[in-house]
Amino acid sequence: MQKVIEIVNGVARHPLYRMKEAVNIEMNDGEQIAIVGPNGAGKSMLVDIITAKHPLLLNEPHYDFAPSLAKLASDNIKYITFRDSYGDTADGNYYYQQRWNQHDIDEAPIVQDILNEVWNITTRDNTPEQIAQKEQLRDQLYSMFHLDILLDKQIILLSSGELRKFQLTKTLLTNPRVVIMDNPFIGLDAQTREQLTELLTNLAANVKIMFILVLSKTDNIPPFITHVIPVEPGRDVREKISRDEYYATYNQKFENLLSDEKKEAIKNYPYKDSTSIAHLDEVVNFNNVCIKYGERTILKDLNWVVKRGEKWALSGENGAGKSTLLSLVCADNPQSYACNITLFGHKRGTGESIWDIKKYIGYVSPEMHRAYLKDVPAIEIVASGMSDFSSLYRKPKAEDLPTCDFWMDIFGIKHLKDTTFLKLSSGEQRLVLLARAFVRDPELLILDEPLHGLDMRNRRLVKEIINEFCKRSDKTMIMVTHYKSEYPECITNEIFLRKNR
């Protein structure tokens, strides 16, 4: 049997990157693998060992990529990480300053240009037969992801779901022998998730590709996966088992993770002063709102009212305008000044500052997650939520520390407060950013895919926290999700967006 990837008694040279025991892994041709485990257990660290990012003490990984003719592991193994990027930047304010200001991004790369470049490189030395096979795959990807309507779009203007489709297409066009995907289904609408599962199933059956999925959400591991490698807390890599064995052994059910004491603490936590909007009945009012970028219409004649105390679930197709809608509510999008929009009693364009609006909002999103690129202590990230959205990093004031500690404890990450952000797992980072959204005790809580990248336990915990917070007097919430199962019990209203409608 061909051993595509084999690691025998693998121990990372650097002590900080070692697993609990020496790693012994064998991944064979025909197998499709899922690496699963809770947030912070070491899944990404295991991938780094598999891909030789972390050199080993004695036995380096052994690869057999046949029938691929490429020799380098980097040519045969492609890794799509959770932190998909709009572009190379060290500026944490990049997203806030650039995404919605199209006149500032004339030089931003276009989807078609990047995909054409990848295509030209990967087909350069191919035979006509090989090119024909790749053309078939390209056509299938373009059709499934509806890329024809994205080709002329700048990368920075892609929604979270559209960006993931683009990254998947770009990677699969390189014809790798092994594809490692970090949570490939997050950010995708239901139809696209089904189509992607079907595509990966077909590729796994008909093309010499080994897929390794790194999954936090483990209640629905795709059926084409044949084997599972569990990673347990403490960087404990368990023996590879079949998918059926995994479900028989690891049947996780979590209920009532938030203690009664913490529920009461959330309910009774001191309120901030919000007397200036206490009289308002409406928090958000959109009247025939239209948003266009060039010839592209994102939102068309949208009428929407969010009343004080309502809890909305916002869903819809990828690219339908969910993130754009939220950018209008958060006052990030300059096009709001040309629209009939009222936020917290302020009609846009009548002299209010964006900080008059943002001071009432707690916010988290996948785009915000990508904006955090500096390796500062987690508590500084949380503390930045006490001020405004222009301050992605700041030292916590002494008087802010009890509030930061309180919410980090509620989210189960108080022990990580001195750990720097980029040393946390992606799931732990998401919990830090969630704590940041709550520290201000916001009047309007905006959660854009808040369970993005969280394991099953933390998904349950965060849902309970959201539910308890929304029991506080007059709190309003807008939550974006592609999964109805993620709705907390407090949801009172729903809105679904479709493209160009």
What's the pLDDT tens digit per position in 223-263?
999 999 999 999 999 999 999 999 999 877 788 899 999 99
Give the torsion sign (CA, 100, 104, 106, 107). Answer: negative
pTM of the entire structure? 0.88
Domain boundaries, the chain: 3-85+111-249, 260-497
Q: Which two tokens stand for residue 269?
A: 């936590």
Question: In angstroms, what CA-CA distances link 144 with 198, 207, 382?
Answer: 10, 18, 39
- CATH match for 260-497 among 3.30.420.40, 3.40.50.300, 3.30.60.50, 3.30.70.20: 3.40.50.300
Strand (E) positions, 281-393? 282-293, 296-307, 311-316, 340-343, 346-347, 361-364
Separation of alpha carbons 61 and 56, rounded Å: 8
| 3-85+111-249 shares its CATH topology with 260-497 | yes
Which residues partner with 19 through β-bridges? none
User: Does 3-85+111-249 carry CATH code 3.40.50.300?
Assistant: yes
Separation of alpha carbons 401 and 397, rounded Å: 7
What's the pLDDT tens digit per position in 1-55?
899 999 999 999 999 889 999 999 999 999 999 999 999 999 999 999 999 998 9
Q: Cis bond leading into 67, ω under 30°?
A: yes
What's the pLDDT tens digit per position in 87-142?
444 444 444 444 555 545 556 789 999 999 999 988 888 889 888 988 988 998 89
What's the pLDDT tens digit per position in 473-495?
999 999 999 988 899 999 999 99
What's the pLDDT tens digit per position in 173-223?
888 999 999 998 888 888 888 888 988 998 888 888 999 999 999 988 999
